[in-house]
């Protein structure tokens, strides 16, 4: 257990650890506030397009640190911990936060722009999860892993499978519009990684993956 905790949490950068804690603790804190009637984090942090247009712009990011329910919190926490434990070493603290928030904001924009009159509060980090799945595929698509009940598959196949499962959950719990909106988080992440590689590093994704594999072999 100690070794697992060290690999998943303590080996990460301070920014990655803070990102994990912000989400994992956010929902229980929100539920505690509701049960005690002391405060309502959803009123303060949930994504409400009509309030964003009134100037409460922090909501385009803060909604991702609350969950829609216990099932959403458990599933999202599992995938967030899993993906951060792998990807946290690819970025600095500022980098992991910047990339994760890119996915969050990209997921919020379609809701804000296409449903500006919505007064409902939206919560969940699906946009972030889709962005991290895109990064996982981008950096590690050639590697293989073993999934219980499935067997050996590539990282790309695993990322697609997880994205499909999350999409099904989003569709049945929140409808097709929010599902498509959260997909924008993954699209934005993939585009950012591709543009960054070409503009700032002068390399394609395949070249970067090949160099990474070479370093591992050495």
Give the C-alpha separation, 146 to 154, whole Å: 9
For residue range 89-110, list pLDDT tens digits in order.
778 889 999 999 999 999 999 9
What is the pLDDT confidence band of residue 205, given thresholds at 50, 70 and 90? low
Contact (CB, 8 A) for 181 and 110: yes
Give the C-alpha separation, 139 to 73, whole Å: 26
For residue range 26-61, list pLDDT tens digits in order.
999 999 999 999 999 999 999 999 999 999 999 999
Contact (CB, 8 A) for 208 and 141: no
Hey, which residues does 154 pair with through a beta bridge?
Answer: 144
- Number of separate domains in the chain: 1
Looking at residue 204, what is its pLDDT? Answer: 54
Pick the more confident residue, 152 or 97.
97
Contact (CB, 8 A) for 183 and 96: no
Token pair listed for 70: 């216990």
What is the pLDDT confidence band of residue 5, given thresholds at 50, 70 and 90? low
Mean of pLDDT over the chain: 87
Structural domain containing residue 173: 2-217
What is the pLDDT confidence band of residue 150, given thresholds at 50, 70 and 90? confident
All residues at 6 or more sequence positions from 138 whose CB lies less than 8 Å from its CB, including other chains: 190, 193, 194, 205
Count each helix (H run) and each strand (E run) in the chain, helices first. 11, 2
Contact (CB, 8 A) for 88 and 16: yes
Q: How many Å is the Cα radius of gyration of the chain?
A: 18
Looking at residue 8, what is its pLDDT? Answer: 60
For residue range 105-124, list pLDDT tens digits in order.
999 999 999 999 998 999 99
Give the C-alpha separation, 207 to 176, whole Å: 36
Handedness of CA 198, 214, 163, 121 (dihedral sign): negative
What is the pLDDT confidence band of residue 215, given thresholds at 50, 70 and 90? very low
CATH code (residue 26): 1.20.1540.10
For residue range 130-143, list pLDDT tens digits in order.
999 999 999 998 88
Which of the residue ranges 121-125, 203-207, 213-217 has the most confident prediction, judged by mean pLDDT?
Answer: 121-125
214 pLDDT more than 50: no
What 3-state class would DSSP assign to 99? helix
């Amino acid at each position: 257990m100690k070794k697992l905790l060290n690999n998943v949490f303590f080996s990460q950068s301070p920014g990655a650890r803070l990102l994990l804690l912000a989400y994992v603790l956010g929902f229980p804190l929100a539920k505690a506030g509701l049960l005690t009637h002391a405060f309502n984090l959803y009123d303060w942090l949930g994504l409400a397009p009509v309030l964003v247009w009134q100037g409460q712009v922090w909501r385009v990011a803060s909604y991702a640190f609350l969950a829609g329910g216990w099932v959403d919190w458990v599933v999202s926490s599992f995938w967030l911990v899993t993906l951060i434990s792998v990807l946290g070493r690819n970025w600095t603290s500022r980098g992991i936060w910047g990339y994760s928030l890119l996915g969050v904001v990209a997921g919020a924009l379609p809701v804000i722009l296409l449903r500006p009159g919505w007064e409902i509060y939206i919560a969940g980090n699906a946009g972030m999860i889709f962005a991290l799945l895109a990064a996982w595929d981008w950096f590690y698509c050639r590697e293989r892993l073993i999934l219980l009940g499935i067997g050996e598959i590539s990282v790309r196949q695993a990322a697609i499978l997880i994205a499909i499962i999350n999409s099904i959950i989003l569709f049945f719990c929140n409808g097709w519009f929010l599902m498509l909106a959260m997909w924008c988080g993954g699209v934005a992440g993939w585009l950012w990684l591709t543009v960054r590689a070409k503009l700032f590093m002068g390399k394609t994704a395949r070249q970067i993956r090949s160099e990474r594999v070479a370093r591992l072999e050495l």
